[in-house]
């Protein structure tokens, strides 16, 4: 039984590559990726602060992509940005809490659940990184300084925060 638990995640990922189809839908693909990533991070012993940081960045990205997609389809309604963002956060956090992954009293950092704290920090950091990209682009006359700057800046910020978490937790 123990071997099956170790092999099953690899088989699921392999099967997803074999049956995957090209799609423009971000949400289901990202939801599966977050679920698999969270499972692997726990299996590998990655701390919830680090995992939460990346989930937070992903939630910001998915929210923006969804709003942009709705805009491209000319679907507009009052409060859509806030509603979409809240929906993604609730659809991520509530199941994690209900499954017992979040909310354990011994899994806290500064009195807040580590995963939740990481999600908050990762969301703020990714948002800040994206705004930094826009500011740099505006400062440079609408042009990026380096290729893929839009991706590199927020991801590097998440990497730095993950390294800081790692160092703090090792002390």
Phi, psi (rounded to 5 degrees) for 113: -50, 135
Indicate if the pLDDT at residue 1 is higher than 70.
no
Residue ranges of the alpha helices (H) in 73-148?
Answer: 80-98, 114-139
**What token pair was written down for 10?**
């690899």
Q: How many CA atoms lie within 13 A of 93 on its CB side?
A: 18
Q: Whole-angstrom Cα distance, residue 123 to residue 99?
A: 22
pLDDT at 44: 79
Mean pLDDT over all residues of the chain? 77
Q: Whole-angstrom Cα distance, residue 114 to residue 50?
A: 9
pLDDT (tens digit per residue) in 3-39: 555 555 554 554 554 444 444 333 455 445 555 666 6
pLDDT (tens digit per residue) in 106-124: 887 888 888 899 999 999 9
Q: How many CA atoms lie within 13 A of 104 on its CB side?
A: 10
pLDDT (tens digit per residue) in 37-77: 666 777 777 788 888 888 888 888 888 888 888 888 888 88
Average pLDDT over residues 95-99: 83
**pLDDT category, 166, cuts 50, 70, 90?**
confident
**What token pair was written down for 7?**
């092999």
Q: Which helix (H) or strand (E) holds 108?
A: strand 108-109
pLDDT at 3: 55
Spatial CA neighbour of 125 closest among 75, 54, 76: 54
pLDDT at 38: 62
Beta partners for 113? 108
Average pLDDT over residues 140-161: 82
CB-based contact 122:48 (threshold 8 Å): no
DSSP three-state, residue 157: helix
pLDDT (tens digit per residue) in 121-142: 999 998 888 888 889 888 888 8
Phi, psi (rounded to 5 degrees) for 109: -135, 120
């Amino acid at each position: 039984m123990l071997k099956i638990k170790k092999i099953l995640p690899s088989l699921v990922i392999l099967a997803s590559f074999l049956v995957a189809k090209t799609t423009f839908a971000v949400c289901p693909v990202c939801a599966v990726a977050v679920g698999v990533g969270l499972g692997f991070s726990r299996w590998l012993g990655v701390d919830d602060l680090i995992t939460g940081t990346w989930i937070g960045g992903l939630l910001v990205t998915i929210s923006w992509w969804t709003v942009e997609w709705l805009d491209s389809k000319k679907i507009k309604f009052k409060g859509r940005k806030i509603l979409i963002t809240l929906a993604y956060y609730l659809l991520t956090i509530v199941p994690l809490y209900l499954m017992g992954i979040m909310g354990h009293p011994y899994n806290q950092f500064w009195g807040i659940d580590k995963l939740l704290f990481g999600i908050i920090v990762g969301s703020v950091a990714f948002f800040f990184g994206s705004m930094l990209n826009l500011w740099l682009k505006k400062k440079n006359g609408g042009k990026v300084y380096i290729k893929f700057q839009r991706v590199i800046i927020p991801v590097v910020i998440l990497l730095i925060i993950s390294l800081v978490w790692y160092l703090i937790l090792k002390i």
